[in-house]
Structure 1
Amino acid sequence: MAVDDTVLEAVRTRIGTESAHELGTITALMIRRYARAIGESNPLYYDTEFARGCGHPDIIAPPNLVTAVSAWDEGPAEDGLRSDGVPTAALQDLPTEGVRVMGGGEDIEFHAPIPAGTTLTERSAMVGAELTHGSKGPVIVVRYRHEFVAADGRVLLTSTRKVLLR
């Protein structure tokens, strides 16, 4: 099925719908493992005393750690994935049968460092959808806003992700 104005209007019915879920506590072990995985050597991500000397309560997460995690649980079983690998639950209520789903980029705004021991909630909302035309035909660009919020209510990071439906 090709995307068109009918699919776009169905997608747009979800604009403004918000959700929130607890991500849990960002641990020092998570931070160190992620920093190693991306080849990071900054002592802020490994050395508690160094981080404290820089004014942080503990080591801090590399800036994109929380946005790089695609699932904060064990993830779905194979029968919970589409043929393109996208979890079916991620696209709930969207008319994506026969539509290819792809990542379209992300803008990230960093508000404050995330030290080990921070408990986070992710608040998400679809904020827009538009039909454009690419070299291979029509594409719907869907934008989602994600806020990563500390237990005290401070927004530590905001990301805007684009998802392409073709």
Structure 2
Amino acid sequence: MAVDEALLETIRSGIGSRITHSLGLITGLMIRRYARAVGETNPLYYDAGYARDRGYADVVAPPNLVTAVSCWDEGAAEEDLRADGVPKAVQLVGLPTTGVRVMGGGEDMEFHSPITAGTTLVERSTMIDAELRPGRNGHFIVVSYRHEFVDDSGKTLLTSTRKVILR
């Protein structure tokens, strides 16, 4: 599939499209495993008593935990993964699933409130922009998404703007 004005217009037709899905319950074990995997040593991420003594309901999730996870179920079988290791079923709103290479292009995060163990999260993702840019090896498209992570009461805990590059 050619990365050109025609593909850009197809993608732009999805601007404003939103998907919402539950990430489920964020557990203490999930937080501790992620913190350990990224080399965090802050006791807020491991010790519930320490976190409670500092005014939190339970252990606190490292800042980028919820944005770093691309799939919140048990994971796909190897034959159901793309060459880059992302599940084939993972679909970004408005993007083609075949014929282009999809890469991360950066992310800005705004933290509104800490996410603690025991929080049930929902992610709302909206395509907000798409543009065609020239590159050394041809054109590429940059698509921007806004992700809002809210608790079960609807309170926004984290907002991110993520860019995805199509080549």
1:55 paired to 2:55: yes
How far has the Cα of 1:87 moved from its partner?
3.5
Equivalence map 1:5-44=2 (5 Å): 5-44=5-44
State the TM-score, normalized to the length of structure 1: 0.92
Indicate conservation of the 8 Å contact 2:17/2:93, yes or no.
no
Q: Which residue of 2 aligns with 1:120?
A: 121
Quick one: percent identity of the two aligned structures?
67
Name the CA distance, whole Å, in 1 between partners of 2:25 and 2:124: 15
Name the CA distance, whole Å, in 1 between partners of 2:127 and 2:138: 23
Name the CA distance, whole Å, in 2 between partners of 1:35 and 1:84: 24
How far has the Cα of 1:107 moved from its partner?
0.7
Task: Write out per-residue CA displacement over residues 107-138 of structure 1, whole angstroms, 9 at most, x where no aligned residue.
Answer: 11111000110000011111110001112210
The alpha-carbon distance between structure 1 residues 159 and 88, as it changes in their structure 2 partners (threshold 3 A), is same
Name the CA distance, whole Å, in 1 between partners of 2:151 and 2:93: 26
Runs of 4+ in 1 over 4 A off after TM superposition: none
Name the CA distance, whole Å, in 1 between partners of 2:163 and 2:50: 36
The alpha-carbon distance between structure 1 residues 147 and 92, as it changes in their structure 2 partners (threshold 3 A), is closer
User: How many residues of Structure 1 are paired with residues of Structure 2 in the alignment?
Assistant: 166
> Structure 1: any 5+ residue segments left out of the alignment?
none
Name the CA distance, whole Å, in 2 between partners of 1:38 and 1:84: 20
2:7 maps to amino acid? V
Q: Which residue of 1 aligns with 2:148?
A: 147
Name the CA distance, whole Å, in 2 between partners of 1:132 and 1:14: 18
State the TM-score, normalized to the length of structure 2: 0.92
Q: Which residue of 2 aligns with 1:66?
A: 66
> Structure 2: any 5+ residue segments left out of the alignment?
none
CA RMSD of aligned residues (A): 1.6
Name the CA distance, whole Å, in 2 between partners of 1:39 and 1:133: 38
The alpha-carbon distance between structure 1 residues 91 and 110, as it changes in their structure 2 partners (threshold 3 A), is closer
2:74 maps to amino acid? E
